[in-house]
Every structure is written in structure tokens, then in C-alpha cells.
Amino acid sequence: MSATTPTREDTEVQNAPQTVAAESTSNKPPRSRANAKSTVWQHFEKIYDSKTNKIEGSKCMYCEKTLAYSVANGTSSMRKHLTSCKKFPQNVDSSQTLLSFKTTQKDEGQTSEVGTWKFDQENCRKLLAEVIISTEDCFTKVEHPKFRQFLGALQPLWKNVSRFTVARDCSKIFNYEKLHSRTNCGI
């Protein structure tokens, strides 16, 4: 599940057939169902092949660009499109940074600093692993549909991770901490 899906350039769909609203996909195989349920679909309309009735493309709700879709390639091209879509509300400028307000507590009281913010999947994965370690939670939590729905609502660019990926991330942090504490103790 955690294997990296090869990315490819977004491809325009020629002669795209009519778009249809999302519908039940309960008869589809697991991989297809997972992709069809991905939160990234909240930003795209599904384009169905009129003959086979399978999803063959997607249309961005903001700029109306159409992208080819296949189960094998999954939703990675859609996610990639959102990071560069000029009309996607979160992309306020070409550098995809947003203003952030950091509140800090100082002796004189609270102060707010204005900075820039950019979504960072790797950093979010690290923080998620730290949460799992700190709360001694199960790795399977990251695969729970409600938890994924929550993350997707917070940040549509978030790419879901499997329990194996988060277990590896936790192991990396654990090994780093172990090495670090040994070095500090002169072991």
C-alpha cells in the first residue's frame, strides 16, 4: 500500500464526455474504491466513460481543467494539479504560501507575528508519527475512515498514509532519539 505511485504529467482529456456527480462505488474493487473515496474528489467532478461507465477523468471545480484518470495512477495527478491550480482558494500566489498568524506568550502578554505558511507533507507525517508515539495510539488509526475524513477536511493536499508507513516513521523517530540520547550520554 505504501509503494510510491509513479507520477506523470497531467494529461488533458480529449472529447470529455458528460460529467456526473459522485455516486456509490460499492461494487468496485478495493483500490478503485479507495481512490474514488479520496478527499481530493471534493475538488473534482468525476467524468465517466459513457460506454463502460467507469471513471476516466476528472474536472477541477475551480479552473475546469480536465485530467485523465486511471485506477493504476490513482489520484496523484489531481493532488498535483491542486498544488498548482491558480484558482484553488488555498493557492493565494504562485509560491503557494499563505499568511500565518503565530501567537506567542511573552512577559508583556500575547503577541502575534505574521509569517508565511506552506503545506509540507513530510513535516506533517513526522508530526503525526510523534502524536502516535506520544499518545501510544494504534498505527491503524491513520487508516480509520473518520480520521482520514478529518485530515482531508483540514488539508485537502494531505496524502493519506498507511499503518505501515506511519509505523516506519515512528521507528525512524525512535531510532533517531535512541542514537541522540546515546551521543549525549557519551555511549
By CB under 5 A, name the binding residues for Zn ion.
60, 62-63, 65, 85
In the bound complex, what is the minimum distance in angstroms from residue 117's beta carbon to Zn ion?
Answer: 21
> Which residue, 50 or 90, has its beta carbon nearer to Zn ion?
90
Using the Cα atoms of residue 131, residue 34, residue 44 and residue 12 in order, give the sign of their dihedral: positive
Q: Is 144 helix (H, G, I), strand (E, B) or coil?
A: coil
Residue 67 · residue 13 · CB < 8 Å:
yes
> Which residue, 142 or 156, has its beta carbon nearer to Zn ion?
156
Number of neighbours of residue 67 by Cβ within 10 angstroms: 21
Q: Is 80 helix (H, G, I), strand (E, B) or coil?
A: helix
> Which residue, 36 or 60, has its beta carbon nearer to Zn ion?
60
In the bound complex, what is the minimum distance in angstroms from residue 76's beta carbon to Zn ion?
Answer: 15
What is the Cα Rg of the chain in Å? 20
Distances (CA, A) of 181 to 72, 74, 176, 177: 43, 41, 9, 6
Number of neighbours of residue 11 by Cβ within 10 angstroms: 14
> Which residue, 44 or 139, has its beta carbon nearer to Zn ion?
44
Which residues have C-beta within 8 Å of that of residue 145, sequence separation ≥ 6?
A: 37
In the bound complex, what is the minimum distance in angstroms from residue 62's beta carbon to Zn ion?
Answer: 5
In the bound complex, what is the minimum distance in angstroms from residue 169's beta carbon to Zn ion?
Answer: 30
In the bound complex, what is the minimum distance in angstroms from residue 12's beta carbon to Zn ion?
Answer: 13
In the bound complex, what is the minimum distance in angstroms from residue 96's beta carbon to Zn ion?
Answer: 13
Residue 166 · residue 127 · CB < 8 Å:
no
